[in-house]
Amino acid sequence: MLLFGRVLRAAGLQVHHARLLDAVRALEWVGLRSRADVRAVLRSLLVHRRDDLAVFDEAFDAFFRAHDTGGSNLPLFSLGERARVVARRNAGAPPRVDLDSEVASPADAALAVGAYSPVEVSRSKDFGELTASEFAEARRLLLRMPWEVGRRRTRRWRRSSHGALDLPRTVRRAAARGGLAADLPFRVRAEARRPIVILADVSGSMDRYSRILLYFACGLSRASADVESFLFATRLTRVTSHLSAAGGHHAVTRVVRGLQDWGGGTRIGEALRTFNTTWARRVMRHAPVVLVVSDGWDRGDPDLLDRELARLRRSCSRLVWLNPLLGASGYEPLTRGMQVALRHVDDFLPVHNLTSVDRLASHLRGLFSHHGLHRHL
Amino acid sequence: MIQTPVWPPASVGALQDALARERYVAERPLAVSIYLAAKLRRPLFLEGEAGVGKTEVAKVIAAALGTPLIRLQCYEGLDVSQAVYEWNYSRQLLEIRLLETTADLDRAAASRELFTEAFLIKRPLLRAIEQTGTYPPVLLIDEIDRADEEFEGYLLEFLSDFQVTIPELGTIRAIEPPIVVITSNRTREVHDALKRRCVYSWIPYPDFDKELRIVSSKVPGVSDRLARQVAAFVQELRTVDLYKAAGISETLDWAAALVALDHGTLDADAIGDTLGLLLKNQEDIDSVRGERIQTLLARAFAHAGS
């Protein structure tokens, strides 16, 4: 059992000692005669996430196969790497990102923490034309942007000087004072941050902007706890944990380096379809603001894009389309994809330089005040 | 009652039999999980898509033991006043007015008289630790993923010592902890700290054989042929890329509808008329309607016949 616990840990599962002891106890009750029962017992007690089930099964099979043939147990520990990749791929991450070595080179690490740069980057300079040092500075600024998206009302109450009468406190006060007092307590619904979902296009046509916009997404993720991020080109990948503060700098660097393997054509409709069918139920909670970052170059089926955007629009509180090309003078959203998108989006805004990002920030801040509700196209 | 229910059950097999008597088809892995939850006295944490029979598990355990089922439906903002207890404020206020009219009102008396059990409204978690019968009640905490993290934190505390402290009355402790079943549709990942304390089981969509057994045992008046066709068609339908696949509860509703409409066998028209019971999403219905139904039906017949 201890050995199997170690195999599971090597495969990336969190296995607690107390649970292993439970498992030993449980196996005494259920018995060891049927392998299916043993599997069911261990699955019930050692796994507590659906995503881990596949890894567990693979480890279980490998472990007991090795046991049957009496082979050496050592190679099993190499299983970890393989299983982890399988698990991540189920969750939709690009294998390339995971296969990168865990330790970034010192040079990368220095870059990733936003090394001090004396370069002043012009706030109106297009992201696609930044020099290496300007890029570093822009990245530093993007990672530190304070973001505040409108708030939403929750169902929890909090004390207030106005609002509805707080009956529980009224009674408690009355009891304590021996009668109803004149100063009545009130309460209002508490507010919480409105969640954000980012869907960023990293296909070939976005090449000039993908890297810097990833830092934009990363800055947003770190400023607010409630941000879900996805990247798409021909398929969709969730990168929430990589871009959040918990992911650490290496995680971001790995995603950024992984980008070069992306490129290729875009199928926005299909990516959104995947999002709507497999992710929306889990991440579209509490009426989020959805930011789609794309130039709208779409090689897929426009009807599919139309349908999926309509659905996406219905499941969020605000659909914002950010297009880096919109900053160029004389740009007209003539691509088929952009034409379709304009039928559904609430806001169509540029993200091509720091000024446009600032404007976006103030736009998002004002979104749910009364005058922010009309469409910006 | 012919069979005396026993909790915890003597063996996994005995448990499966007990569940089968309540017409619940539990596969061995799920039965093992329920059995372990009973033996270890841990909450049972069931995850799975909507409509695969998670809630039903709690209902059949309660029915099998003849013990009450106490259900707490979770939602965002669920708080202690809705989950544990609440004072009946309007009655307390009336009482205060009454007390005010009598001359001998003093603070101590007011507190004493206002905060008694007569003014207490017991919510599910408090009721669950007040045992009245032979077996403790089954506490169903349904769709925990809808509640927010604040509530999860409270639940963690509740599940570790099964006691509730009401400042005005004192601490109420369970004589025997309730049998706890927690379900989640996984619209978000529930915190690991909570899941670690539970016996975890993922309930998948059933395979053909299981679905056939469920339809045959739960739908009155369904012929063997129709049951086979229904199960096979739903199996095929789940292979189609849809926003929301049909769960077992949808299958059962659909089969019941087909029986009610006197369809002895499946055909494209019958399906077209009743598709709304199986798919609850206009886009999904549109994408299946028409020739797709014929294709699915042909594949289902090939399977059901074999």
3-state SS string over chain A?
A: CHHHHHHHHHCCCCCCHHHHHHHHHHHHHHCCCCHHHHHHHHHHHHCCCCHHHHHHHHHHHHHHHHHHHCCCCHHHHHHHHHHHHHHHHHHCCCHHHHHCCCCCCHHHHHHHCCCCCCCCCCCCCCHHHCCHHHHHHHHHHHHHCCCCCCEEEEEEEEEECCCEECHHHHHHHHHHHCCCCCCCCEEEEEEEECCEEEEEECCHHHHHHHHHHHHHHHHHHHHCCCEEEEEECCCEEECHHHHCHHHHHHHHHHHHHHHHHCCCCCCHHHHHHHHHHHHHHHHCCCCCEEEEECCCCCCCCHHHHHHHHHHHHHCCCEEEEEEHHHHCCCCCCCCHHHHHHHCCCCEEEECCCHHHHHHHHHHHHHCCCHHHCCCEC
- Evaluate if residue A330 carries a pLDDT over 50: yes
Q: Report the relative pairing of strands A164-165 and A186-193 from DSSP bridges.
A: antiparallel
Pick from A356, A334, A324: which is nearest to A203 by CA?
A: A324
What structural domains does chain A harbor? 1-95 (no CATH), 143-147+194-366 (3.40.50.410), 157-192 (no CATH)
Neighbours of A127 (CB within 10 A): 26
Tokens (6 digits) for A97: 């990102």
- Cα-only R_g, chain B: 24
CA quadruple A251, A255, A256, A262: dihedral, nearest 10: 170
Q: Which helix (H) or strand (E) holds B165?
A: strand B163-166
d(CA B250, CA B50): 10
pLDDT score recorded for residue A150: 76
pLDDT grade, residue A76 (50/70/90)?
very low
Cβ distance A199 to A232 under 8 Å?
yes
pLDDT score recorded for residue B5: 59
d(CA B217, CA B211): 10
Q: How many residues does chain B have?
A: 306
CB contact under 8 A, B87 and A168: yes
Neighbours of A161 (CB within 10 A): 7
Please indicate if any CB of chain B lies within 8 Å of the CB of A30.
Answer: yes
d(CA B217, CA B180): 26
pLDDT tens per residue, range A42-65: 999 998 888 888 888 888 888 877
Of B36, B114, B196, the CB nearest to A44: B36
Pick from A123, A178, A126, A187: which is nearest to A153 by CA?
A: A187
Please indicate if any CB of chain B lies within 8 Å of the CB of A306.
Answer: no
> Helix or strand or coil: residue B164?
strand
CB contact under 8 A, B77 and A156: yes
Instruction: Please give the residue of chain B at the shortest CA–CA distance from A48.
Output: B200
pLDDT score recorded for residue A292: 95
Q: How many cross-chain Cβ pairs, A to B, lie less than 8 Å apart?
A: 126
Degrees, nearest 5: CA angle A114-A349-A362? 65
CA distances from A365 to A45, A221, A289, A358, A372 (A): 45, 15, 11, 11, 9
Distance in Å, alpha carbon of B202 to nearest chain A alpha carbon? 7
Cβ distance A132 to A207 under 8 Å?
no
Which residues of chain B have a pLDDT value below 50? 1-2
Peptide bond into B8 cis (omega under 30): yes
pLDDT tens per residue, range A84-117: 333 333 333 333 333 333 333 333 333 333 334 4
Q: Which amino acid is located at A304 in the chain?
A: L
DSSP B174: -
Instruction: Please give the residue of chain B at the shortest CA–CA distance from A181.
Output: B96
CB contact under 8 A, B200 and A45: yes
Please indicate if any CB of chain B lies within 8 Å of the CB of A307.
Answer: yes
Averaged pLDDT of chain A: 78
d(CA B105, CA A34): 71
- Evaluate if residue A264 carries a pLDDT over 80: no
d(CA A184, CA A189): 17
d(CA A81, CA A58): 12
Tokens (6 digits) for B164: 């509730």
d(CA A174, CA A171): 5
Please indicate if any CB of chain B lies within 8 Å of the CB of A55.
Answer: no
d(CA A314, CA A325): 26
pLDDT tens per residue, range A145-179: 888 887 788 888 889 888 888 888 888 888 777 77
Q: A182 or A83, which is more confident?
A: A182
Degrees, nearest 5: CA angle A159-A163-A169? 45
CB contact under 8 A, A179 and B150: no
Residue identified by tokens 């304070």 is: A146
d(CA A52, CA A14): 9
Please list every residue in chain B whose beta carbon sits closer than 8 Å to the beta carbon of residue A52: none
Cβ distance B203 to B270 under 8 Å?
no
CB contact under 8 A, B96 and A39: no
Tokens (6 digits) for B163: 């006691």
pLDDT score recorded for residue A342: 92
CA distances from A97 to A103, A241, A272, B38, B114 (A): 13, 13, 21, 43, 63
Q: Which residues share a beta bridge with A319?
A: A290
- Best of A44, A51, A278 to disrupt the B interface (most B CBs within 10 Å) is A44
pLDDT score recorded for residue A155: 81
Tokens (6 digits) for B28: 């061995």
Of A50, A174, A282, the CB nearest to B187: A282
- Cα-only R_g, chain A: 26
Neighbours of A176 (CB within 10 A): 12
- Evaluate if residue A331 carries a pLDDT over 70: yes
Q: Which helix (H) or strand (E) holds B105?
A: none
pLDDT score recorded for residue A73: 40
Tokens (6 digits) for A196: 């954000």
Cβ distance A194 to A150 under 8 Å?
yes
pLDDT score recorded for residue A258: 72
Q: Which residues share a beta bridge with A159?
A: A187
pLDDT tens per residue, range A333-367: 888 889 999 999 999 999 999 999 999 988 888 88
Q: Which residues share a beta bridge with A227?
A: A196
d(CA B48, CA A50): 9
Instruction: Please give the residue of chain A at the shortest CA–CA distance from B192.
Output: A48
Q: A22 or A67, which is more confident?
A: A22
d(CA B139, CA B132): 14
